[in-house]
Structure 1
Amino acid sequence: MSNIHFFGVRHLSPSAAYHLLEFLERHQPKCLLIEGPADATPLMPQMVQKGVKTPIAMLGYTTELPIETVLYPFADYSPEYQAICWAVKKKATLRFIDLPTQQMLKLRQEQSSDEAQQKAQDFYRYHNTLYKRVAEQAGETDYEDYWERQFEHNLTADAFAPTLAVQSGEMREMVIGKEYEEAPFDFSYNLLREAFMKREIEKACAEFKPNEIVAVVGAYHLSGLQSDLAPMTDAELQQLPQAASQLTLMPYSYLRLSSRTGYGAGNRAPYYFELMWRAIQNNQMDDLAATYLTKVAKILRTQGENASSASVIEAVRLANVLSAMKGGSHPVLEDLHDAVVTCFGAGDLAVVAEAINKVDIGTAIGALPDGVSQTPVQEDMRQALKRLKLSAYQSAVAQDLSLDLRENLKVKTKEAAFIDLNRSTFFHRLQVLGIHFATEQSVSQEKASWAEKWVLQWTPEVEIEIVEANLKGETLEIATAFVLKEQLGECQDISVVARIIRQACECQLTDIFSNALSTLQRLLVETTNFAETANAALQLSVLIQYGDLRQFNLEPLKPLLQQLFLRASLLLLDASYCDEKASKPVLEAINTMERIGDQQYDLVDLDTWHQQLIQLAWRDDVNSKLSGIAFAILLEHNLATEEECGREVSRRLSAGVPADLGASWFEGFSGRNRYALLSRTIIWQELDQYIRQLDEEQFMRSVVFLRRAFSSFEPNQKNSIAELLGDLWGTGKEATAELLQETLSEAETTQLEELNDFDFDF
């Protein structure tokens, strides 16, 4: 093994890719061994076939609970990816040599306890301090800056690999040999991996001469592979635990590749390093700073910021000076950031942060051609698109699709008669799984029971989401059932359970529907939350409206809806003893109950609901806004007379009522049936008198609520109010409307903004 050619890399390093290709050209190996799961070797030719667009990733995942995954992303500038491209082109033997996924994933499963995770976090926190120390000794504040200046910019032949090997070996020795005795499982796990890699290297040596073999591994593993560690034996391999698993290729994105989104082996600026890779290939590293800064400036100009060519030139100069001050040959990313902030942002990072992120991370999304490593869910998705005649909608251009869930009696086959219903089921399953191919749009209320409208758009991100859904089940139906079952098992909110019942119906999942019904019945006995109960009732009400459209037996829902509606009615008063902040969900739930009453007037107990509203409307010891909306509802249902309306408005807006309570009541009262409100002159007379008798502090208190109440009025409604007031004041309709609709002055706007911080002594 001593004559094997080893090359240590850093994942996602353009410079490592550049030096590795030179190394391969020089040695022309007949066998290329690369760090990666050994069982993924058959995927290697697919990774570089025609139609593949990076970034892509290999995904290994367990097919049984608990779900565990291992991910190997590749950008175009990944040294491993470039090595695979080289070997396929040269027709060299190509293999992955790391521990197979079935063992790797099982070992990870067994170390997923909170204690093990905490130990690993503590260790890697310590590990990172060592890297920070290396950077500080080199005069850098960050290891990434140190890495880029010392390694990415080092294109000198035969300098990169030996330097990296020495540094990695010293860091490894520092950690496990001297300063940290209680290393976590990951260290023994790495030793297992290295023992397996040595085993695979020995197997290659039996087929090829050692000097015909190149092994490409992470630089961290070099010292382990070149040590006296014994290769793993057949017996030792058989003793390792295994998990049922699968491997697939999937499109990936620069956003997911970025370490800023949590990928530990990623880099902080995928697109920036793509620019660097192009510059290295074209021998244009001197132009990289100008290229980067020009792209930032272009984005800033589209945002309306000042980023002239002169500013770009000045920024390039500044970045080069900053680099020279630290002995660098080219600016590192941090130098470029400083130049952007100084020359484009006038010292303000917030002005340029978005543009920096866009050029650092980029928007690239990979793609795979048809037939490349399909997971079961991918295949199920493909078949569903074909069966439901949706293949034409696999377009980056958004397209509308309207569905009629009723049986089409004009066609000959059952499949054609219910194609829209089956499409709806398919789209709802995708929604549950977080696959954003279909987005539901609202339809007019009179068509809501049988009509649906969707916007369909196919993107590479959709393909990523499909692959990830495979972690939950082998078909869309099984995966959807898994997701809803998990949600149901963790749920204590009755409204969420009702939503799951609705989703189970829309997704045609009978078992989940039955289980959720049982859970709902159990929680119904215990619930004391008015808003949750009302929202649960709404979910069932919407379902019942479907009737037999979805070919689902909805009869069991009717007694449940009756119980939920009655329970919510009886919880209303207790829920109304609340403060301003807590009143919002209660107010929304009151409107929800009214909506249910309109939909299911022949099914639910409206008498009890109205009796509770009557109590709420006339009481003074509950939240005044809720009393206001309750009274407005009584007027809608003719449960209060015009005379009672006048007296109640007068009472609520009297001098003896605190200004904030009176205005809060009016806010609730004015929140419904605006046109009925505008037709009652007595209301505006009482409101006018109420405002006139307030002193300055009372006025300031009331105007906060009144301003909020009127903010939701339509322009034509505000104009009608102005005309009413013109009649009351004798100032004329047109003149008053024109005056009240004028744009506020800067001083008036400032005064209103100050009300946001008004102290109500709450």
Structure 2
Amino acid sequence: MPYDTPEAAVAALTDPAAPYLIGVRHHAPSLAAAVPALLEAAAPDVLLVELPAELEEWLPWLAHEDTRAPVALAAAPASGASGPAFYPFADFSPELAAVRWAARRGTPVLACDLPLADRAWAPEEDEPVAGRGPSGAPRPAYAVGDRPGIAAALRSRLTGRPGDDLWDRLVEAPAPGSPPEALRRAALLTGWALRQEAVAAGGVPALDLRRERWMRACLARATAHGERAAVVVGAFHAPALSAPSGGDEASTAATPAKAPPWTTSLIPYTYALLDARSGYPAGIRDPEWQHLVLDAAGDPAALADALTGAAVRICAELRALGHPSGPADAREIVRLAGDLARLRDLPAAGRGELVEAVQTVLAQGEPYGRGRAVARAMEKALVGTRTGRPAPGAPRSGLAPAVEAELAALNLPGPADAAPGTTRDLRLDPLRSAPDRRRELLLRRLTVCSVPYAEPKPVTAAGGADALTSRWEARWTPATAAMLTVAGVRGVTPAQAAEGVLRERRRQERDEGGPTAAQILRGLEQAAECGLPALADERLAETAEILPDTATLPELLAGLALSDRLRAGHIPGLDATGERHQRAAAVAEA
């Protein structure tokens, strides 16, 4: 619904007769601290949060008192057609604060965003990938370009630091000392301004419009009997929810027909991954600092104490890196950050002022050398090392515990080794070492199951002979945990899951008129490498039957090389038994 002025927009968005809207950014510590007070004042009968419908069953576990943030809700299609979706939560996430409040009060919580199975998430052929994207979480709708508009005009007047976004300047920076309702109004105003910017730039994306229709339908259904609803939603979407629901939207909130199933899970997360520079979705700069802002709870004095502590830790980390830095430097950082806040008419210095002060006092104009050391010290002090975990009783798939136990038994990276920089280079000799053979089999099976854990690296043997060793780079990430849950539908052990994946692939090949020679060779090699003798024998029989009549010359040569490896016993997953040796020899002769 369009509004002529910002005042009119805020008045409509906070109308007592309308749903109680709390516009958020996914990680906003000042607003997260205010959310419980806002909901307490609103006293809703039902709470709606912007999460896909598939994740609703996990909300009680997300809010469980024994769940320790950061954690992430993860989802992935059982078909493996796209990557997992991640929805990470920290203590300073407003949605998590809202869900926890509802759990304490016994208020029902509904996930009101478009289901992940809806085909609207898939991009058109001529459009770039949007929405949750291949890496997962829904794209933020808060960043805008330099085009003229309401948001640009506000930014030009209010931003005192390069690179600041409108949310930081209008919501986070003025938050210390502000009442919760003032924060709520500032957040709604910011979302409205960014939406106006999108409209002026060509319109709100079709996916967002589809999501908002779904949200309105969910809201209408939740309040059909006069219930008072509170909605915690991205500030960009809030103006769309203040408009009345159209008559054609009553049928919108229905599960899409023939929707592909999605496997969901609640997994541990870390502040290192939550940091925006990690490359993972829905992150924020310097999570440990954001946690300090949450703990300050809007108190300017507490925030000043947090800044002092952060300055001291940065100086200590810099000393540990071999560069001189002492209490005088920490005092100067605090003084300069406070001066910058006063120049900008802010109630307290924030992250931006701290970063500028550290750069000025410690980096001393050196972009390299000492400057890089300062950047490392800031990362250690401001990103943090916190790791979360789901409540002990939270459901898990049967495969994940089995894999974790096997990883531990084989001394391979596991959930406790999820921090950045913990990639392990493995050099295995599976034909001569029993533990290395077990490691090789596990890594091959996880790879077949599309579990992002280990990546094979090329190994070259002398004289062009078969390489009898292998090299891998292994690392546990949140994507590993998410995809283990997906693969768990195929089996409860790595071998069972891998065989389930390969047999399903073989069935699909037959349904499509195959298998082709290339598919047979690929299936045979994978079955052998995964140590699946029954499936390998079936593929070997197909090879002998189909390859001689249908294979191209390169495929025949590849089949000959593979049969030679099988006969020589150079594939660790299989022993060259008499019958299998004869079949491989028959393939070579054919």
TM-score w.r.t. the length of structure 2 is: 0.70
Contact 1:149 1:330 in 2 (8 A): no
Superposition pairs of residues 228-307 of structure 1, within 5 angstroms: 228-230=244-246, 233-238=249-254, 240=256, 242-263=259-280, 265-280=282-297, 284-307=302-325
Contact 1:197 1:231 in 2 (8 A): no
Do residues 147 (structure 1) and 167 (structure 2) align?
yes
Q: 1:538 to 1:267 in 2, by over 3 A?
A: farther
**Runs of 5+ unmatched residues, structure 1:** 408-417, 443-448, 490-496, 563-762
CA distance in 2, matches of 1:316, 1:437: 45
Superposition pairs of residues 487-636 of structure 1, within 5 angstroms: 504-509=527-532, 510=535, 524=554, 543-544=569-570, 549=575, 553=580
Shift of 1:125: 11
Deviations 1:223-268 (A, max 9, x none): 1111234265454445955333232222223333333244553222
How high is the sequence identity, in percent, across the aligned residues?
22
Q: 1:363 to 1:523 in 2, by over 3 A?
A: farther
AA aligned opposite 2:293: M
Aligned partner of 2:400 among 376, 381, 391: 381
CA distance in 2, matches of 1:193, 1:546: 50
Aligned partner of 1:100 among 109, 115, 137: 115
Q: 1:274 to 1:228 in 2, by over 3 A?
A: same
AA aligned opposite 1:113: E
Deviations 1:205-235 (A, max 9, x none): 235543xx32221111221111234265454
Match of 1:544, SS state, is coil
RMSD: 5.1
Partner of 2:100: 85
Q: 1:89 to 1:473 in 2, by over 3 A?
A: closer
CA distance in 2, matches of 1:172, 1:388: 48
AA aligned opposite 1:365: T
Match of 1:368, SS state, is coil
Aligned partner of 1:115 among 117, 127, 130: 127
CA distance in 2, matches of 1:523, 1:355: 58
CA distance in 1, matches of 2:87, 2:130: 24
Deviations 1:349-382 (A, max 9, x none): 32322222333433333212444242xxx41232
Contact 2:161 2:352 in 1 (8 A): no
AA aligned opposite 2:201: Y
CA distance in 2, matches of 1:361, 1:516: 54
Do residues 55 (structure 1) and 107 (structure 2) align?
no
Shift of 1:192: 2.6
Do residues 359 (structure 1) and 381 (structure 2) align?
yes
Contact 2:78 2:262 in 1 (8 A): yes
Superposition pairs of residues 598-747 of structure 1, within 5 angstroms: none
Q: Which moved more, 1:338-347 or 1:261-270?
A: 261-270
Superposition pairs of residues 435-446 of structure 1, within 5 angstroms: none
Q: 1:358 to 1:524 in 2, by over 3 A?
A: farther
Partner of 1:223: 239
Deviations 1:669-707 (A, max 9, x none): xxxxxxxxxxxxxxxxxxxxxxxxxxxxxxxxxxxxxxx
Contact 1:272 1:361 in 2 (8 A): yes
Deviations 1:393-438 (A, max 9, x none): 979599x9x999899xxxxxxxxxx999767633542466566599
Partner of 1:180: 201
Q: 1:431 to 1:30 in 2, by over 3 A?
A: same
TM-score w.r.t. the length of structure 1 is: 0.56
Contact 2:87 2:282 in 1 (8 A): no
Partner of 1:334: 352
Shift of 1:140: 3.2
Shift of 1:284: 0.7
Do residues 15 (structure 1) and 37 (structure 2) align?
no
Q: 1:554 to 1:293 in 2, by over 3 A?
A: farther
Deviations 1:302-336 (A, max 9, x none): 21121211111111112222232222233332332
Partner of 1:313: 331
Match of 1:364, SS state, is coil
* Equivalenced residues, count: 515
Q: 1:118 to 1:298 in 2, by over 3 A?
A: same
CA distance in 1, matches of 2:260, 2:395: 20
Q: 1:180 to 1:548 in 2, by over 3 A?
A: closer
Match of 2:164, SS state, is helix
Q: 1:81 to 1:498 in 2, by over 3 A?
A: same
For the pair shown, the structure with the greater C-alpha radius of gyration is: 1
Partner of 1:570: none
CA distance in 1, matches of 2:553, 2:395: 45
Q: 1:234 to 1:60 in 2, by over 3 A?
A: farther
Q: 1:94 to 1:191 in 2, by over 3 A?
A: same
Do residues 214 (structure 1) and 237 (structure 2) align?
no
Contact 2:72 2:266 in 1 (8 A): yes
**Runs of 5+ unmatched residues, structure 2:** 1-15, 134-139, 460-465, 510-519
Deviations 1:596-649 (A, max 9, x none): xxxxxxxxxxxxxxxxxxxxxxxxxxxxxxxxxxxxxxxxxxxxxxxxxxxxxx
Shift of 1:46: 0.8
Contact 1:35 1:97 in 2 (8 A): yes
Shift of 1:164: 2.1
Match of 2:127, SS state, is helix
Match of 1:115, SS state, is coil
Superposition pairs of residues 341-490 of structure 1, within 5 angstroms: 341-348=359-366, 349-374=371-396, 378-383=397-402, 390=409, 396=416, 425-430=441-446, 461=476, 464-470=479-485, 474-475=489-490, 476-477=494-495, 480=498
AA aligned opposite 2:110: R
Do residues 202 (structure 1) and 220 (structure 2) align?
yes
Deviations 1:161-219 (A, max 9, x none): 1122123223313422xx23365433xxx223222222222333235543xx3222111
Q: 1:325 to 1:385 in 2, by over 3 A?
A: closer
Q: 1:244 to 1:438 in 2, by over 3 A?
A: closer
CA distance in 2, matches of 1:505, 1:38: 40
**More RCO (CA 8 Å, sep 6+):** 2
CA distance in 2, matches of 1:191, 1:329: 37
Contact 1:547 1:554 in 2 (8 A): no
Contact 2:53 2:115 in 1 (8 A): yes
AA aligned opposite 1:362: G
Q: 1:182 to 1:195 in 2, by over 3 A?
A: closer
